[in-house]
Structure 1
Amino acid sequence: MSMLEGGGRSGGPGRMAGLTADGLSVSARCVVGGLFVAMGLSKALDPVDFLKLVRQYELIEASVGLNLIAVVLPWFELFCGVLLLAGVAVRGTAVVSLGMLMPFSLVVWDRARGLHESLGGPFCGIRFDCGCGAGEVAICHKLAENAVLMLCSAWLLGAGGRRWCLWPALFRGRG
């Protein structure tokens, strides 16, 4: 292997590209995982308040379903965040995080659109507690944040870098 192909002691372009991809994967895991841990924990510590916020979207009528969401979802978010931070099942957890972020972003956008129609004013001036765990947020900031989280999750789904992942260490030498 030549120096240009990433061989040799100094690394080379191939090695640098690998480090950059690994660095992006670690960064994406830290961003998505860290936010999922923080937001999941804030909701898990006050499930009654989270239940009230979930009710405002009027997606589910049954109180049992709402209660289940208010109790289970924060712990599931926390679990997914820990998996990402630890580097366990990164691609699978990236799929799950996309599966949570996409519908959440759509209902937040829909609620903001409804508030915009009824209140008027600039769309980006709309602020409300969307239920993410961060309190009252500016809608454009929240939608941009969710877009970044979805891009990070999509990167993890495609790249799946293994640097600083616990998963390969757990199963090294098996199979």
Structure 2
Amino acid sequence: MGRIAVRQRLCAGQNLLGRVQRLVFRRKPRGERKRKEFLERVVKLAEKLSRLPFLFLFRFILGLVFLYASLGKVLDPQTFAENLLAYRIFSSALVVRYLAVTLPWIEWFCGIFLILGLFVRSVSILASGLLLAFGVAMSSAMIRGLEINCGCFTNAHEVVSSFTLLRDSLFLVMSLVVLFSRVDSFTLQNFIARKKQRSDVLE
């Protein structure tokens, strides 16, 4: 009886071990399949987004926003420098003057390249960084209770508020959508790439 009981326990243990092993080895392929399916869905979604007109609209609107925002600052960097000083972030007047001259031109180039659809990925990274920096600066001013001109568009007086912060956040979301989606079909860089492919085929 004792031997039979031992054998039964050994058999039961082996059966249990076999079940555990089967469960473990079954889970791995399922996990891998799920990961592959998820990645395939992401790729398909990116492809669908790249064909949708709203991606072109996001890029075009952002380009217009940056272009319009740069014009007054390029023409009057002194007023923009005063707006930057009002944030009380930079202690050096030299740094402020440098930013007042360079930032508007960076905005201008971002606007032009976004509208035309050139270097879209790189410009979207730069645009997102600028919008994030503007948002952080405005949040800091609001926390400290500063009632100052945000210096967002041209040199029109517009006090930093929840509205200006919300608007900046909306533009940031649009910029991130453009950044993380495939470049839309209505860009100059895609047109140049297609033209080059055709010429290569003809040769």
CA-based RMSD of the aligned residues comes to 2.3
Where in structure 1 are there 5+ consecutive unaligned residues? Answer: 1-13, 117-126
**In the alignment, what sits opposite 1:54?**
84
| Structure 1 residue 74: Cα displacement | 0.3
* Percent identity (aligned): 25
**In the alignment, what sits opposite 1:80?**
110
Structure 2 CA distance for aligned equivalents of residues 143 and 39 of structure 1: 15
The 1:19–1:105 alpha-carbon spacing in structure 2 relative to 1, beyond 3 Å, is closer
1:84/1:93 contact within 8 Å kept? yes
Matched, 1:139 2:169: no
| Structure 1 residue 169: Cα displacement | 2.2
Q: TM-score, normalised by structure 2?
A: 0.67
**In the alignment, what sits opposite 2:73?**
43
Report the AA paired with residue 188 of structure 2. Answer: L
Higher-Rg structure is 2
**In the alignment, what sits opposite 1:8?**
none
| Structure 1 residue 92: Cα displacement | 1.2
1:25/1:160 contact within 8 Å kept? no
Where in structure 2 are there 5+ consecutive unaligned residues? Answer: 1-43
- Per residue, is there more helix in 1 or in 2? 2
The alignment partner of 2:184 has SS state of coil
**In the alignment, what sits opposite 1:25?**
55
The alignment partner of 1:115 has SS state of coil
In the TM superposition, 1:1-175 aligns within 5 A as 18=48, 21-115=51-145, 128-133=148-153, 134-137=156-159, 139-172=161-194, 173=196
Q: TM-score, normalised by structure 1?
A: 0.76
2:74/2:101 contact within 8 Å kept? yes
Can you list the C-alpha shifts for 1:91-138, whole angstroms capped at 9, x where unaligned?
11111111111121111111112117xxxxxxxxxx641111253145
Can you list the C-alpha shifts for 1:14-45, whole angstroms capped at 9, x where unaligned?
9xx94885312111112211110000112111
1:22/1:163 contact within 8 Å kept? no
**In the alignment, what sits opposite 1:5?**
none
Structure 2 CA distance for aligned equivalents of residues 128 and 64 of structure 1: 21
What count of residue pairs does the alignment treat as equivalent?
150
